[in-house]
Structure 1
Amino acid sequence: MRQNPARRTALLDAAIDVLARDGSRGLTLRAIDAAASVPTGTATNYFRDRDDLLGQVMRRTRERLAPDPAVVERTMRAPRDAKLVAELMRQLVDRMRADRASNLAMLELRLEATRRAALGDELGGFLTAEHTELIDFHLGAGLPGDRIGVALLYFAMSGLLLDDLTLPAIPDQYRTDELVATLVARVLSAPR
């Protein structure tokens, strides 16, 4: 197994692009080599098997989609109110749009996880932990809302992002900033 970290990252980024463009069935080692502009057979030196490849792609998409800590730190200097939550959600939409390939690749990985138990276990565990971390961050930062409200916000934003990625004509009917601000205001202030 090769250990060149820069080459591995280039191959994983190429795999994300292939997965986003061609779907799971188009994700072959040969396609990754071509997308990374490396000699045929290079990817076989970096991935034990398809499960290893998919797991590494999943981890790489999460690296690419993670918010910049400096941006989060600056954003969190604002008062802890619904405006700040809406700003965090707008930043989420901006990150998703800036790296559409990683988000589409994650959708493909979610579908593939329904057919591959090992990937399903790894992805399910990771996304469950991420979901808990997001809620804990929100509540720990003193942002408005309770655990259920933040979970509802997460699921509603997931739907908005899914439509924005796959059927952009639907969210394009609305101003995204207005949708996000209204969503935050209604979800976080709704009585149970």
Structure 2
Amino acid sequence: MVRQNVARRAALVDAAIEVLAREGARGLTFRAVDAQARVPTGTASNYFASRDDLLTQAGGRIYERLQPDAATVADSLSGPRDRDRIAVLIQEVVDRVSSFRSGYLALLELRLEATRRPELRAVLTEHIRADVEANIRHHLDSGLPGDADTVVLLYLAMNWLVVERLTLPDVFGEEEIARLVTSAVERLVP
């Protein structure tokens, strides 16, 4: 077995995310990934057993890159434990996820592709379920108001708000997005 460069593998997966976001799942080829990563033709095929493997790796990598850093997590635990704090935290999540535009758009492509690929569906289900469960645990452990259903409802609402922001940015302006986040929190959090 050929020893592989870990940094190059990560760069190839990141390139796959960019290709997915720009060209969709049908545009994701080893050649397109090689071109995006600016590596010699044939490099991606040496690192991934199949296109399915590349799709699955991209799905996992998006979630790695969407995770907040330690400072953001620590900051989420500071301050009062009230609805206003939740609104601030939710706005941070919407902004952080939206700032990784290509990753979120690639994730949308992967979700559609997962309807046809059981292995990809399994990977995305695992990552998304773990993400939701981690958000619920963090919320409950931090003493913020609301229960598990509150977290799930906010998760679902904010995901679609991010979709609107990234795919049809003229539907809601930035001020309206901030107002909608606050309104969702006020209506969903006891």
Work out the CA distance in 2 between the residues paired with 1:98 and 1:148.
26
Aligned partners of 1:2 and 1:45 also within 8 Å: no
Instruction: State the match for 1:181 in structure 2.
Output: 182
Deviates further, 20-29 or 175-184: 175-184
| 2:96 is aligned with 1:92 | no
* Inter-partner Cα distance in structure 1 for 2:147 and 2:79: 20
1:173 Cα deviation (Å)?
7.8
Displacement after TM superposition at 1:70 (Å): 1.1
* 2:12 paired with 1:6: no
Q: Secondary structure at the match of 1:3?
A: coil
Q: Shift of the alpha carbon at 1:18?
A: 0.3
Q: Which residue of 2 aligns with 1:114?
A: 115
More deviation, 20-29/129-138: 129-138
Amino acid at match of 1:117: P
Q: Paired residue for 1:81?
A: 82
Identity %: 51
1:33–1:40 Cα contact (<8 Å) kept: yes
RMSD in angstroms over aligned alpha carbons? 1.4
How far has the Cα of 1:114 moved from its partner?
A: 0.2
Tell me what 1:160 maps to. Answer: 161
Q: Deviations over 1:37-94 (max 9, x none)?
A: 1000000111011221111111111111111121220232111111211111111111
Change (3 A) 1:8 1:22: same
Go from structure 1 to structure 2 and tell me whether the alpha carbon gap of 1:142 and 1:4 turns closer, same or farther (over 3 Å shift): same
Q: CA deviation at 1:183?
A: 0.9
| Structure 1 residues 173 and 133, CA gap change in structure 2 (3 angstroms) | closer
Supply the AA of the counterpart residue of 1:64.
R
The separation in 2 between residues aligned to 1:97 and 1:160, in whole angstroms, is 10
Aligned-partner Cα distance in 1 for 2:110–2:174: 29
- Could you report, residue by residue, the CA deviation over 1:80-113 in whole angstroms, capped at 9, with x for unpaired residues? 1112111111111111221100000100010000
Q: Cα deviation per residue 1:139-192 (whole Å; 9 max; x = unaligned)? A: 111111112122111111111111112112222285222111111111112xxx
- Map of 1:141 onto structure 2: 142
Q: CA deviation at 1:2?
A: 4.5
2:74 aligned with 1:41: no
Q: How far apart, CA to CA, are the structure 2 residues paired with 1:147 and 1:97?
A: 24
Amino acid of the residue matched to residue 82 of structure 1? R
Q: Structure 1 length as normaliser, TM-score?
A: 0.93
For the residue of structure 2 that corresponds to 1:153, the secondary structure is helix
TM-score w.r.t. length of structure 2: 0.94
CA distance in structure 2 between the aligned counterparts of 1:159 and 1:171, rounded to whole angstroms: 12
Structure 1: gaps (5+ residues): none
Query: Aligned partners of 1:5 and 1:84: how far apart in 2?
Result: 39
Aligned residues: 189
Q: d(CA) in 2 for partners of 1:63 and 1:20?
A: 17
Give SS of 1:145's match: coil
Q: Distance in 2 between matches of 1:188 and 1:166?
A: 28
Does structure 2 conserve the Cα–Cα contact (< 8 Å) formed by 1:29 and 1:43?
A: yes
